[in-house]
Structure 1
């Protein structure tokens, strides 16, 4: 599924693009079921809130066939390649829980700053595609974005001293918590809003937001009793592959296999699973290479 010229222009102007009804109810139901299944898996990529609730699960696409196919659907990978102008691979995959009354905030930040400083990603020609699996309203912590903020460029920030003292093996953890490692200051936020505004991405289950790596974004805590589940797929261009560094973050956070995606048809998400043979399954296997 290709984006129109108007949609591409809107993304480059605002730094994000909201697409309603991008996934069907059946697809959303499947993704939601698999999401709760992943929440129950105790593994290194599962990050908890301070109260013990699940906050984020990383890299489920490496072990879960449904999420693997999600990253390769034409309606996800093809728009990413259109917007970035090159072949893409998955740099990072995460499921954000934002559970009812338990989901904490995400402070204002730019994703690319983390990927530059922590992963040695050369340029901000990167984006995230977010699939929302519940209705998102004013009360359950909608994704907040500032239109045009990507035009400010990468906002360089220093790391607080408490993070500088962490052991190398633990230094990646503050990039994932409610108390983020690189915080946008109040002064910077005011500057970003001088000629813009804060927009809340809201919609019904199955809507998607594509946003640029330098777009300022945040979300408040979930003050409703309803979970707000979202799947983040961060697509990077093959030409923007990470540079070698000492002590890289775990690959479940920062992928270092830069093989470009072989796209699957949009109906592949609901394809037969569990090893059952079918002509459609064989076709998908050939498309995946």
Structure 2
């Protein structure tokens, strides 16, 4: 599929200035917002900051079942040599497992991706039916879990997957307590209102290295220094069972886990069915299906 006009150029030879966001944060269907469980205060906070955090959103019993499934996936022999199971760069420990919403990987997490408590909130923000663009578990084991560099998810999805507009959100479910010492997700509030183009052409099969340590698609330090200086940095810390909903363009990162405690989170990326991928905007070919859905855009139902 040919691309529409590129509103967010990136991966260029020379540095480009920051581009003010051209898409709404809270979307509408025509001139109407969709109703849902988020309060007006929640919606205002999401528009301002680019994320919402709900402490203790899932029950301890639910969290226990999620953890059991996490352990099962980690130990499944059929997944060990699969390209969608990513290992830590300096050890054999699991870093990420992708496509967990597919029944062939996890029937349990397939059901969780369709949980109305998640679906109703993301549909309200996007004013649209949605499908799963990507899903994964990030394990980040104690002592050996490496960090994730600063980035906007949308910059990668736009450049390498061909996602045309900013009409996607991620739900991160905390499976183990996230605290200051085990590498919690850090976010720059309000950074979703600016698109920061990145310098450097996308290497061939970039995903093979970027899933272990990302070097391309990383904002320059001057832009990060300015945005963090203006808006600060927040850390999504809280007990297991908490829920973080964050906008696709908010800048985020995480440090290495230097503590004994693992930091495991589930991620579901919900994209509007009106925002399906085209040809990549800054890569020779799309990433594999386990990283970006390109065929099945069937709206998710409860």
Give yes or no for TM over 0.5.
yes
Select 2:199's aligned residue among 158, 170, 193. Answer: 158
Q: Is residue 2:301 matched to residue 1:259? A: no
Q: Deviations over 1:89-109 (max 9, x none)?
A: 110001000111111000110
- Aligned mates of 2:215, 2:140 — CA distance in 1: 16
Q: What is the number of residues matched between the two proteins?
A: 256
Q: Report the counterpart of residue 225 of structure 1 in structure 2.
A: 260
Q: What SS does the aligned partner of 2:46 have?
A: helix
SS in 1 for 2:229: coil
**Residue 250, structure 1, aligned to residue 288, structure 2:** yes
- Is 2:274 the counterpart of 1:239? yes
Structure 2: distance between partners of 1:115 and 1:182 = 10
TM-score by length of 1: 0.85
What residue is the counterpart of 2:70 in the other structure? 35
TM-score (norm 2): 0.81
Counterpart Cα distance in 2 of 1:199 and 1:177: 24
Match 1:54 to one of 64, 75, 94 = 94
User: Quick one: distance in 2 between partners of 1:39 and 1:249?
Assistant: 23
Deviation of residue 130 (structure 1)?
A: 0.1
Alignment gaps of 5+ in structure 2 = 1-35
Q: Which residue of 1 aligns with 2:24?
A: none
CA shift for structure 1 position 39: 1.6
Deviation, 1:61, is 1.8
Q: Distance in 1 between matches of 2:155 and 2:110?
A: 26
1:97 and 2:136 correspond: no
Structure-2 separation of matches of 1:180 and 1:230: 23
Map residues 142-153 of structure 1 onto 2, 5 A cutoff.
142-152=184-194
Give, in whole Å, the separation in 2 of the partners of 1:140 and 1:120. 33
Which whole-Å CA distance do the structure 1 matches of 2:215 and 2:297 have between them?
27
Task: Please give the per-residue CA displacement for 1:223-264, whole angstroms capped at 9, x wherever unaligned.
Answer: 11111110010110000011145732111100121111102x
